[in-house]
Chain A
Amino acid sequence: MENKLSPDEKREALWQGQLSPKDPAGNDLQFQSPEAKKAYRERILRIKDAIEMRRLPDRVPVTVFPSMFPWINAGMTVQEAMYDYGKAAAAFKQFVLDFEPDVHWGAAQVGPGKLFETLDYKLYSWPGHGVAPEHCFQCNEGEYMKADEYDALIQDPSGFFSHVYLPRVFGALGGLPMLPFLPGIQEIYGVAFNFIPFGLPPVQATFQALFEAGAEALKWAGAIGGVNGELATLGFPTLIAGFSKAPFDVIGDTLRGTKGIMLDMYRQPDKLLEAMEALVPLMIKLGVSSVQVTGNPLVFVPLHKGADGFISDEQFKKFYWPTLKQVLLGLIEGGCIPLPAAEGGYSTRLEVVQDLPRGKTVWMIDLTDMARVKETLGRNACLLGNVPSALLNVGTPQDVRGFAKRLIETVGKDGGFILSNGSFFDEAKPENVRAMVETAKEFGAYA
């Protein structure tokens, strides 16, 4: 029956699910007060109306979409937040209660440091492992996929991840390439050969590491996920299900690296294009399955290497946008609401990316002129942003208030706008973050 629903009906069902939230046992969620229940419903409807652009919300919704700010602001180091899950969850709860955003994005950005240690994660440096205790984790770009491995990726993307990519980014998973070819397990003779790898020490060590990582992940998810449920009972919803990516960024961020993918654009453009096509169904599945598991409608899509200055307009149209558009449309078809975050500047891309169905996406805007965004992309898409990190960091509350008020008056004018920071910040003055939230509440009402 689920499959018979149209994409719009699926989205509406998700919203209705949000409006009648359940506890983990499947019973109606018990709110901690009637006010919390009322506020929860109002917040969800406010966001829904802003996204769908069919009618005006009661006021401009506001959110804070931080990186490490909730923990740094609580006086913790990032290292503590990544290793003490209970403390991290408590600090995040306090952050939401202090700033009272209409929607929050959960605490999953502080990953479990112990798990990364267990797996010997190489793609990132994190506090105590290449980065100072007080600083955020940072990515170590490299050629985790070699230039001559496109055919292997294209032929079997999932197999490439499990047998080639994962053992390169996780030092403890060196046994994965030895795993058997599972479709070879068929008739009785030969079955046993396929199980030989599981008896070998490197594979057993890999599984040992996986068991430990799994136990750690459960501990972490219990603490970090638990806080979402608690915040819901206090009236604060989260709407984020998971994430997906532009195929160009899958290859450019984590497989080939920036330099690798950019050389491939000249040296083997057809292979690159084919590989990106092969990744489209995986990226759709990634987002849609997260929505099915959580019941939350929003799929975060961080956009990286298609921003202004990285590649030309022609290259954007040829290499970046076609497969990203397929992913976004696939997510919409699957009942999700994609939330692409256009980090950096996106001025030169607006005319291209505006070609999407109305009221089905939310775009986080960073350093792009919002007036131009409103006239292009913003005619059919809800915009989220774009108080700059610099202003939140070194400005005054008056500066922030002035900036936010201008956004509300111009971008917020006809709905389709969620006031927020524009990029994921670690450090900021709390009074500035507060000024941003308060400005929406003071000046954001639609008469």
Chain B
Amino acid sequence: MSDQLVRAIADMREEEALTLVREMVASGVEPVAILDAAREAMAIVGQRYQEGAYFLPELMLAGEMLTQITGLLKPELARVPEVKRHGKVLIGTVKGDIHDIGKNIVTFMLDVSGFDVLDLGVDVSSPKFVEAIRSFQPQVIGLSGFLTLAFDTMKETIEAIEAAGLRDGVKIMIGGGQVTEEIRQYAGADAYGRDAMSAVTLARQWIGTK
């Protein structure tokens, strides 16, 4: 039944997946086993996205299915052990910019790829980034921005991280809208990416997972 659930989620059959979960709960299957199947399915979804078979609708529906499944299990969730994560990524849309679709996709992909992601949201000031670096201690930082104003605020954010003495300990990637290699140089980031796949690839390279 677990395999069936993995396939139903991975193949975007929402109703079937939810029916299966209800049946599994009713027949006494451990929530851990159901969540493991859901995680396995999410990894397949992520894989298919990276291969170019899936796009945003599939990521969004997968996220939606996961939320509904954990909702069905909620009372049992306390017993679930935390999974081991590869490393930490701090992410946010820089000050002045409130666009979040791209950032959310990157967060989702990093999460299903096994990273511990802290998403600070949109319009995040440089002091907020600095503070979060101190408390969360990420290896990788992702700065997102859609508008041309973000070029300057990305630069300011990276300068603030540098001024706080935290630049050497982290790798910084930027992305979104009009970000190019010229902007990477301008902002002083380590790399830029055109899509969520590049964010996962970069985080893997930097954190040293395969």
Residues on A close to B: CB < 8 A?
125, 130-132, 134-136, 138, 140-141, 258-259, 262-263, 265-267, 309-312, 315, 344-345, 367, 388-391, 393-395, 423, 425-428
- If over half of A's interface residues share one DSSP class (helix, strand or loop), that class is named, otherwise mixed; here it is loop
Q: Is the CB of B14 within 8 A of A393?
A: no
Judged by a CB distance under 8 angstroms, whether B136 is at the interface is no
Number of B residues contacting the other chain (C-beta, 8 Å)? 30
Given contact pairs A138-B99, A309-B55, enumerate 7 new A-B contacts (beta carbons under 8 Å).
A140-B98, A266-B57, A312-B54, A390-B151, A391-B180, A394-B182, A423-B178
Q: Is the CB of A389 within 8 A of B12?
A: no
Q: Is the CB of A138 within 8 A of B182?
A: no
Q: How far is the CB of B158 from chain A (nearest CB, A)?
A: 14
Known contacts being A266-B12, A388-B180, A390-B182, is A427 close to B149, with CB within 8 Å? yes
Judged by a CB distance under 8 angstroms, whether B114 is at the interface is no
Q: Is the CB of B56 within 8 A of A310?
A: yes
Q: How far is the CB of B57 from chain A (nearest CB, A)?
A: 4
Q: How far is the CB of B119 from chain A (nearest CB, A)?
A: 16
Q: Across the two chains, which residue of chain B brings its CB closest to A391?
A: B182
Judged by a CB distance under 8 angstroms, whether B9 is at the interface is no
Known contacts being A262-B60, A266-B12, is A389 close to B55, with CB within 8 Å? no
Q: Across the two chains, which residue of chain A brings its CB closest to B146?
A: A138
Q: How far is the CB of A68 from chain B (nearest CB, A)?
A: 9
Q: How far is the CA of A272 from the CA of B54 in the complex (A)?
A: 20
Known contacts being A266-B12, A426-B149, is A389 close to B178, with CB within 8 Å? yes
Q: Is the CB of A428 within 8 A of B56?
A: no
Q: Is the CB of A315 within 8 A of B57?
A: yes
Known contacts being A309-B195, A310-B55, is A266 close to B14, with CB within 8 Å? yes
Judged by a CB distance under 8 angstroms, whether B186 is at the interface is yes
Can you list 11 A-B contacts with CB-CB less than 8 angstroms, sorted by A residue number? A262-B60, A262-B61, A263-B60, A263-B64, A266-B57, A309-B55, A311-B57, A367-B178, A394-B151, A423-B177, A428-B148
User: Which residues on the A side are within 8 Å of B180 (C-beta)?
Assistant: 388, 390-391
User: Which residues on the B side are within 8 Å of A141 (C-beta)?
Assistant: 101
Judged by a CB distance under 8 angstroms, whether B147 is at the interface is yes
Q: Is the CB of A427 within 8 A of B60?
A: no
Judged by a CB distance under 8 angstroms, whether B116 is at the interface is no
Which residues from 179 to 210 on chain B have a C-beta closer than 8 Å to any C-beta of chain A?
179-180, 182-183, 185-186, 194-195
Q: Across the two chains, which residue of chain A brings its CB closest to B186?
A: A394
Residues on B close to A: CB < 8 A?
12, 14, 53-57, 60-61, 64, 96-99, 101, 147-149, 151-152, 177-180, 182-183, 185-186, 194-195
Q: Is the CB of B152 within 8 A of A131?
A: no
Q: How far is the CB of A276 from chain B (nearest CB, A)?
A: 15
Q: How far is the CA of A423 from the CA of B148 in the complex (A)?
A: 10
User: Which residues on the B side are within 8 Å of A265 (C-beta)?
Assistant: 57
Q: How far is the CA of A344 from the CA of B176 in the complex (A)?
A: 10
User: Which residues on the B side are within 8 Å of A309 (C-beta)?
Assistant: 55-56, 195
Q: Is the CB of B61 within 8 A of A390?
A: no
User: Which residues on the A side are within 8 Å of B55 (C-beta)?
Assistant: 309-312, 315
Q: How far is the CA of A411 from the CA of B20 in the complex (A)?
A: 55
Q: How far is the CA of A311 from the CA of B172 in the complex (A)?
A: 28
Q: How far is the CB of A272 from chain B (nearest CB, A)?
A: 11
Q: How far is the CB of A44 from chain B (nearest CB, A)?
A: 30
User: Which residues on the A side are within 8 Å of B12 (C-beta)?
Assistant: 266
Q: Is the CB of B178 within 8 A of A390?
A: yes
Q: How far is the CB of A150 from chain B (nearest CB, A)?
A: 17
User: Which residues on the A side are within 8 Å of B101 (C-beta)?
Assistant: 141, 258
Known contacts being A138-B98, A263-B64, is A389 close to B56, with CB within 8 Å? no
